[in-house]
């Protein structure tokens, strides 16, 4: 299994703040990796370049990835369907966790959320495919205080 690393370059009002890297655990979440990676690169004609983080809960998470409406109400997968919730093995053990976001089970599309702090209280809940974020978490923490941040 390959373990690709994806990069998000974070900016506010076109001013670069830094980048965040995410290691995708393809051996545990293959279908999610096959959906997330092309949206990170934009190779399918749409993706994560440009959308903001419209849902921000200080001390918990920032949610982004609405590649259709850019306001937190849209979501799209690369194969036009939805990606099932398949992984409950990996646990929220510290800062930098990225997980797919959805409204109901088995409807993952493009939206994701990032936890910039330890979130152990989420163990056993209905959370989805997990990744480990590396570096530049201070950028994510800054997002929690400004909704105009975008990833490119």
Tokens of 118: 């330890």
pLDDT at 76: 92
Q: What is the pLDDT of residues 99-144, one digit of tens each?
A: 888 888 888 899 988 877 766 656 544 343 444 454 456 666 666 6
Confidence at residue 88, expressed as pLDDT on a 0 to 100 scale: 57
Say what percent of the chain tops pLDDT 70: 67
Q: Check whether 44 has a pLDDT greater than 90.
A: yes
Number of H helices and number of E strands within the chain? 2, 8
> Is the confidence at residue 148, as pLDDT, over 70?
no
Q: What is the mean pLDDT of residues 28-57?
A: 86
Q: Output the average pLDDT for the chain.
A: 75
Residue 10 predicted with pLDDT over 70: yes
Residue 77 has pLDDT above 70, yes or no: yes
Across the range 65-84, mean pLDDT stands at: 87
- Among the listed residues 90, 57, 87, 85, the one whose alpha carbon sits nearest the alpha carbon of residue 72: 57
Q: How confident is the model at residue 151 (pLDDT cuts 50, 70, 90)?
A: low
DSSP letter assigned to residue 12: E
What value does the mean pLDDT take over residues 17-43?
83
Angle at 53 between CA 128 and CA 39, to 5 degrees: 60
Domains for the chain: give ranges and CATH numbers. 5-151 (2.40.100.10)
pLDDT score for 93: 56
């Amino acid at each position: 299994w390959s373990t690709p690393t994806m990069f998000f370059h974070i900016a506010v009002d076109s001013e670069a703040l830094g980048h965040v890297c995410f290691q995708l655990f393809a051996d545990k979440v293959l279908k999610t990796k096959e959906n997330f990676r092309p949206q990170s690169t934009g190779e399918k004609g749409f993706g994560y370049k440009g959308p903001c983080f419209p849902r921000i809960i200080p001390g918990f998470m920032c949610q982004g990835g609405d590649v259709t409406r850019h306001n937190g109400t849209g979501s799209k997968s690369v194969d036009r369907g939805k990606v099932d919730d398949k992984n409950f093995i990996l646990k929220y053990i510290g800062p930098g966790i990225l997980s797919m976001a959805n409204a109901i089970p088995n409807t993952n599309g493009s939206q994701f959320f990032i936890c910039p702090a330890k979130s152990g209280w989420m163990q056993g809940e209905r959370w989805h495919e997990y990744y480990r974020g590396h570096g530049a978490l201070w950028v994510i923490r800054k997002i929690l205080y400004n909704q105009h941040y975008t990833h490119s």
